[in-house]
Chains A and B, each alone.
Chain A
Amino acid sequence: MSRGRGYAIALAVFGLLLILTPRFILPVCEYHGKQVMNCSHTAHYEMTLGAFMIAAAGLSAFWNASIARWLVPAIFLISGMAAIVIPEAAGYCRNPEMPCNYGTVPALRLLGCALAITSIASFLSLRKPDSGK
């Protein structure tokens, strides 16, 4: 498997995690029976971001190596930054006893950091020519 395909799969997995985390793994307050509030919007934006990442992972099959070399790390980096910034921009519950505060948002920040680290790794890795093995 080529490195490019490996990173495309990683991007899809991260996208899936961004969809599943605020809904099923560590759900926001709405899915704990509370009303719709800002953390619900955060969840929806993060799920949309996850869907875009999966779509980008699918599209990456059609990119040639020279485009993928800079586009894949850029997508990882932008997605990671967005995953961290979205809860701050859309809002979440400030009470530390609310599920989104102690669960969802820290998990999303962790995912964002993991995406940023993967961005650096992919940037360094994709610069080298692929052996094709």
Chain B
Amino acid sequence: MRLIIFLFEFFLFVMPLEMALAGDIVSLLAKARCIECGMKVAPDSPFSSAMVKADGAVMPFCDIGDMLVFRKAGKVPADARLTVRDYMSREWIDAGAAFFVKNAQFHSPMGWGVAAFKDKHNAAAIGAPMTIDEAMKALK
């Protein structure tokens, strides 16, 4: 019975919310401006990232570096989650689980040159993989 209730709740509430959030990110990025620098966000850019607040509000960043600066300034609420795009597949992934690489070959919108990777070996092929905390400290 509990399983049925769980599945009912999952399909009725959780899944649509997750789908809405994913849809929100894509549609919002198309017209949004970065909350750190105010630049228009390129929706197809591998350097675009976003903060999803607990209430579902999506706050976009044009550059992963801007997201890290925002986090460094302590502006990310404890219940918010940060999402980045895998540089290889453009898939949205959790920033906490991503591997970050800083490399001059990445021409990101704000010039930070930081990309995120889902797989560590893909990241290691381009530079030294860093966690989100290490990437944040690596910023000048």
- Contact across chains for A35 and B40 when beta carbons are under 8 A apart: yes
Give the docked Cα–Cα distance between A96 and B69 (Å). 12
Chain B residues near A91 (CB-CB < 8 A): 37-38
Q: Does A124 contact B (CB under 8 A)?
A: no
- Interface secondary structure of B, over-half rule: loop
Q: Does B57 contact A (CB under 8 A)?
A: no
- Contact across chains for A38 and B38 when beta carbons are under 8 A apart: yes
In the complex formed, the residue of B with least CB distance to A41 is B38
Question: How extensive is the interface on chain A, given as a class?
Answer: 10 to 19
Chain A residues near B34 (CB-CB < 8 A): 37
- Contact across chains for B140 and A96 when beta carbons are under 8 A apart: yes
Rounded to whole Å, the gap between the CB of B128 and the closest CB of chain A is 20
- Contact across chains for A94 and B38 when beta carbons are under 8 A apart: no
Give the docked Cα–Cα distance between A131 and B83 (Å). 68
- Interface secondary structure of A, over-half rule: loop
Q: Does A93 contact B (CB under 8 A)?
A: yes
The size of the chain B interface, using a CB distance under 8 A, is 15
Rounded to whole Å, the gap between the CB of A92 and the closest CB of chain B is 8
Chain A window 32-44, contacts with chain B (Cβ cutoff 8 Å), 1 for yes, 0 for no: 0011111111000
Please name 28 pairs of A and B residues whose Cβ atoms are closer than 8 Å in the assembled complex, sorted by A.
A34-B39, A35-B39, A35-B40, A35-B109, A36-B38, A36-B40, A37-B33, A37-B34, A37-B38, A37-B39, A38-B37, A40-B38, A41-B38, A91-B37, A91-B38, A93-B37, A93-B110, A94-B37, A94-B69, A95-B65, A95-B110, A95-B111, A95-B112, A95-B140, A96-B140, A97-B111, A98-B110, A98-B111
State whether A37 and B111 are in contact (beta carbons under 8 Å apart), knowing that A94-B66, A94-B69, A95-B65 are contacts in the complex.
no
Interface centre among B33, B109, B111, B112 (most CB of A within 10 A): B111
- Contact across chains for B37 and A37 when beta carbons are under 8 A apart: yes
Q: Does B36 contact A (CB under 8 A)?
A: yes
Chain A window 51-84, contacts with chain B (Cβ cutoff 8 Å), 1 for yes, 0 for no: 0000000000000000000000000000000000
Chain B residues near A41 (CB-CB < 8 A): 38
In the complex formed, the residue of A with least CB distance to B66 is A94
Chain A window 110-130, contacts with chain B (Cβ cutoff 8 Å), 1 for yes, 0 for no: 000000000000000000000
